[in-house]
Amino acid sequence: MKGKKIDPQLVEVIRQLRRMHRPAEIVKMMEGRLHRRTVYRILERLRRKDEERNRELAEQTRRALERAEAERLRRAKMRGARPFRTVAQWPPRARARAE
């Protein structure tokens, strides 16, 4: 095993600080607790995890929309074309032309 184990509580503190502060400010706040390079590595890892989570969420949303559209098309196909049974059911523009 290489290196020291980073305290998960410090990672959580950095995650919280990330919402309100820039990386350089976070590094200054963590001075004395963690090395600057370590803080930047943690920030990069958190950023990559956020990007991956956002990509997965976008993919799930896209798939859900595709399923909904496929379901809508399937239902429309099942209904099929229904002929107008009376002249009153015709759209007004079609009625005007027919008369």
Sorted by where each begins, the domain ranges of the chain are 8-98
Does this model's pTM top 0.75?
Answer: no
In the chain the first and final C-alpha atoms are separated, in Å, by 88
Contact 39, 30 (CB under 8 A): yes
Q: What is the pLDDT of residue 98?
A: 58
pLDDT tens per residue, range 11-70: 999 999 999 999 999 999 999 889 999 999 999 999 999 999 999 999 999 999 999 999
Q: Which two tokens stand for residue 1?
A: 């095993």
